[in-house]
Every structure is written in structure tokens, then in C-alpha cells.
Amino acid sequence: ASRRELSIGASVAPFDAGIVPKAFAMRALDGTLFKYGPKSANVAFRYGKNDKVAIVVGGLTDGLFATSYVDPLCRELDGLGISTVQTLLTSSHQGYGVCSLDEDAGELADLVSALQRESDPPVSRYGVIGHSTGCQDAVRFCLRGGKPDFVVLQAPVSDRESLGMHGQTEKNIKLAEDLVAQSGGQEVLMPLSTQEDGSPITARRFLSLAAKGGDDEAFSSDLTDTELKNLLGHMDGVPTLVLQSGADEYIPHSEVDAVGQAKRLAAAMGSRARSIVIEGGSHALEDHTDEAVSTIKSFIMEVMLP
């Protein structure tokens, strides 16, 4: 598909900044908004005009500005000669329930192709920064042939273990299994009442996220070292940072040792992977923005700069 781009300044102030809650205060970047693929959601935002790029992939329900550290990280990396691309996928926002990791990986491949062939300047080297389920996307992208120069997995948590913290999950797993069994191979939506965020989700994708051995399974603490190696071993040779949050609200801390699990994930990915845990950090590191930026920046500098 042809690539269309538009230079924009994302700097329109709210009508009355005084009534904007602090957590939603305006964040602004000037850059290039461009279309990278044929699907309606295939839009990305590039900050900086460099031939080295860090691609940011958010998690479930995320879009642009997925975390509070993204915009300061963009500025820090640009100062090093590395642009940042925040991407939308068909699964972004409320689309995750009708998509899959393989579809996400395919769209990331389209994005990389557009950046390498059609951007100005053409991208010569790139890495992927995944947040939350964006970590699964980064891992799947590598499995499907992606060859990034680095990967950052920020908050690589188990969706299954996170969903297991909710009382209705086992009941909904049984419902999803019944729907799939009765579907005759067709995609069937779960009742909307099963989704707290109101997003439509197929029974198959729900099982992928919530059931043991689902397609989204990658980081669960009850997997053996061998099982983790089978899921993550293809990352061997890719410089990878496992950046875990010590107080991640999506980890059942009574059952999971966040520090130990981060080390296990890195070990499963081979000698070029390492783990760092930000003590007291939340899932998206809103309360540890400076530490997130400095940690990710240092890792990328080590890999991408002489």
C-alpha cells in the first residue's frame, strides 16, 4: 500500500487547562503521522528524523502515548540520533479482542518494511520497545522473522495470571470453551458482560489470554524453565532487556516473585538478555518515569551506539 504522511504539531491546548485532571494533563510531541499499511488502523507517529528507530508497542487497550515515559524517552533518544515510532495496530484500543499476536506481528513487519523502504531517511537499524502485552507482540514478531537490533520488554506479565486475579475468570473460561466447541469453526463473541472494559472479544481470543497454554502464553510463573525456553528461546542472540516493575498491580505478588521471574525470563532468552527490576514501580511505571527513561536509554545506547 502507498505510504501517506502528514507533518503535524500535536500542541493544541485544552480549552481550560485548569480543569484537566493532573493524570490527564496534555502531553505533546511534534513529528510525522504516517500510514504504513492497508488496514484502517495502520497509522504510526514518528518523532525525529534519524536512520535509527525505536518502535514502541503498547499493551491491551493502549494506543499512542501508551505510558508516561514514552514522550520524555522520545526526546532523550532523539538527542542520541535515534527516532521513536509509536504505532497503532488493528488490535490497539478496543480492538485486541478480535485480533491475534500473529496479526500484530504481521502489521509490525509492514511497519518495519515501510520505514526501511519509504521513510526519509530510510531506517538502517531498529529495535522494539514493548509494554505489557506489547511484550508478547515483540516476542512473536521475532518468532515470525523480525530481526530487531534490540528488544525492551517493559512489564512482561502473564495475562493468564493477571486475569486469574478476578473471581469470574474460571467461569468465563468454561463459557468460552463451550462457545468454541459449539461454533463449528466460526468466531463467536463472548457476552459483553464478561469484559470489564467493554471491548468485544471472541471466545477464542479470551482463551488465548486466560487459559493455560493459550496462544498469548509467554511469561507465566508456573511454566517450567523448559517451557519458558520453548516459548522464548528464539530470542537467543537478540539483545533484550526484561524491565520488570517491583509493584506491578497485574502480578499476583502473593504467588509470584517478580524479581525471580524476571531473571527466569531473561535466562530463557539466552546470554544477550538481562533483567532489571524497578523497585516499587507500577505496571506502566507512571511513578518512576525518570528511572524508566534512564534505564531504557542506557540499554539502547549500549546496543545501538559505538
φ/ψ region of 88 (left if φ > 0, alpha if ψ in -120 to 50, else beta) reads beta
Q: Within this chain, do residues 234 and 166 fall inside the same structural domain, yes or no?
A: no
> pLDDT at residue 4 above 80?
no
Q: Within this chain, do residues 144 and 240 fall inside the same structural domain, yes or no?
A: yes
Q: Within this chain, do residues 51 and 139 fall inside the same structural domain, yes or no?
A: yes
- The reported pLDDT for the residue numbered 36 is 98
> pLDDT at residue 17 above 70?
no
Contact 271, 238 (CB under 8 A): no
Retrieve residue 91's grid coordinates: 488490535
Q: Within this chain, do residues 138 and 60 fall inside the same structural domain, yes or no?
A: yes
Q: Within this chain, do residues 154 and 96 fall inside the same structural domain, yes or no?
A: yes
Rounded Cα–Cα distance for residues 239 and 14 (Å): 41
> pLDDT at residue 226 above 80?
yes
- The reported pLDDT for the residue numbered 22 is 57
Weakest mean pLDDT among 92-106, 191-205, 238-252: 191-205
Q: Within this chain, do residues 109 and 233 fall inside the same structural domain, yes or no?
A: yes
Q: Within this chain, do residues 179 and 33 fall inside the same structural domain, yes or no?
A: no
For residue 18, what pLDDT band results from cuts at 50, 70 and 90?
low
Mean pLDDT of 163-174: 93
For residue 191, give its domain range. 160-217
Q: Within this chain, do residues 209 and 227 fall inside the same structural domain, yes or no?
A: no
CATH number of the domain that residue 127 is part of: 3.40.50.1820
115 domain-assigned: yes
- The reported pLDDT for the residue numbered 306 is 73
2 domain-assigned: no
11 domain-assigned: no
Q: What is the DSSP string of the chain?
A: ----EEEEE--PPPS-GGGS-GGG-----EEEEEE-SSSTT-EEEEES--SEEEEEE--TT--SS-STTHHHHHHHHHTTTEEEEEE--TTTGGGGGG--HHHHHHHHHHHHHHHHHTSSSPP-EEEEEEETHHHHHHHHHHHTT---SEEEEES---HHHHHTTSTTHHHHHHHHHHHHHHTTT---BPPGGG-TT----BHHHHHHHHSTT-TT-S--TTS-HHHHHHHHGGGTTS-EEEEEETT-TTS-TTT--HHHHHHHHHHHT-TTEEEEEETT--TT-GGGHHHHHHHHHHHHHHHH--
Mean pLDDT of 219-241: 98
Determine how β-strand 43-47 pairs with β-strand 30-35. antiparallel
**Full-model pTM:** 0.91
6 domain-assigned: no
Mean pLDDT of 139-161: 98
Mean pLDDT of 209-238: 98
Question: What's the chain's average pLDDT?
Answer: 93
> pLDDT at residue 3 above 50?
no
Q: Within this chain, do residues 131 and 189 fall inside the same structural domain, yes or no?
A: no
9 domain-assigned: no
For residue 10, what pLDDT band results from cuts at 50, 70 and 90?
very low
> pLDDT at residue 12 above 90?
no
Q: Give long-range contacts, CB 8 A cutoff, 24+ apart: 224-232.
A: 225/264, 225/267, 225/268, 228/264, 228/265, 228/267, 228/268, 229/268, 231/139, 231/268, 232/139, 232/265, 232/268, 232/269
17 domain-assigned: no
Q: Within this chain, do residues 246 and 292 fall inside the same structural domain, yes or no?
A: yes
Rounded Cα–Cα distance for residues 273 and 219 (Å): 15
Q: How many CB atoms lie within 10 A of CB 12?
A: 8
10 domain-assigned: no
Q: State percent of the chain over pLDDT 90.
A: 86
Q: How many CB atoms lie within 10 A of CB 147?
A: 10
261 domain-assigned: yes
Mean pLDDT of 58-66: 97
Q: Within this chain, do residues 129 and 267 fall inside the same structural domain, yes or no?
A: yes
> pLDDT at residue 15 above 80?
no
How many independent structural domains does the chain possess? Answer: 2
